[in-house]
Amino acid sequence: MSDSLPDESGRLAEQLLHLTRRLQRAQKRRLEPLGVTPAQARLLRIVGHRDRDGRAPRMADLAQRLEVVPRAVTTLVDALESHGSVRRAPDPDNRRVVRIELTDAGRATLRTLRAARRAAAEDVLAPLSAQQRQVLGGLLDTLGPDPERRR
């Protein structure tokens, strides 16, 4: 193996981190006018994807998916509930469990957030040709999703 491989891996890691930060900043700029923070946007995306059983997620599910303490989820849900984007709903099978559902306004906000996310990605990817984007997409597919996320 070449001695330059670790150096190249380090350089690639730095480039990926830099690109990720640029994408996050571009997305944050597009979210600000909507009055939604990046953390709230992430929670909305998770709530927008129903569990495998088709049910709205529980607070504990959200904390696990966001990798935060439950209190942090409560704060996010409180803010999104006051925004009118989500509502707390009792679980029909266990009254001690609270599930978080999107409201109609939340679904509209989620559509707007998705458009903002695509526009932010377009800002970052603008210098690439269609062919370069295809190659990049293939490389990212090869790297695959985070194995921790597949659980």
18-24: long-range contacts, CB 8 A cutoff, minimum separation 24? 19/124, 22/124, 23/120, 23/121, 23/124
**Is the separation of the CB atoms in 98 and 81 below 8 Å?**
no
pLDDT surpasses 50 at 151: no
pLDDT in the model for residue 150: 45
In a domain, 11, yes or no: no
The yes-or-no verdict on residue 149 having pLDDT over 60 is no
What mean pLDDT is reported for the chain? Answer: 88
14 is a domain residue? no
pLDDT tens-place string over residues 90-140:
988 888 899 999 999 999 999 999 998 899 899 899 999 999 999 999 998
Which is higher by pLDDT, 106 or 9?
106
Residue 28 within a domain: yes
77 torsion bin: left (phi>0), alpha (psi -120 to 50), beta (else) = alpha
Instruction: Give the domain range for residue 34.
Output: 19-140
Q: What is the CATH number of the domain that holds 62?
A: 1.10.10.10
CB 110 within 8 A of CB 44: yes
Pair of tokens at residue 120:
């932010």
* Residue 48, CA distances (Å) to 35, 90, 104, 130, 137 in order: 18, 17, 11, 30, 24
Per-residue pLDDT averaged across 25-39, rounded? 88
pLDDT top residue among 50 and 101: 101
* Cβ-based burial of 77 (10 A; exposed 0-12, middle 13-18, buried ≥19): buried
Query: What size, in residues, is the chain?
Result: 151
Q: What is the mean pLDDT of residues 66-73?
A: 93
Is residue 45 within 8 A of residue 85, CB to CB? The reply is no
Q: Is 10 within the bounds of a domain?
A: no
In a domain, 1, yes or no: no
Report the number of distinct structural domains present in the chain: 1
The whole-angstrom separation of Cα 83 and Cα 81 is 5
75-79: average pLDDT: 95
CB atoms within 10 A of CB 85: 25
Q: What is this structure's pTM?
A: 0.77
Q: Which residues of 5-39 are buried (b: 16+ CB within 10 A; e: fewer)?
A: eeeeeeeeeeeeeeeeeebeebbeebbeeeebeee
What's the mean pLDDT in 24-48? 90
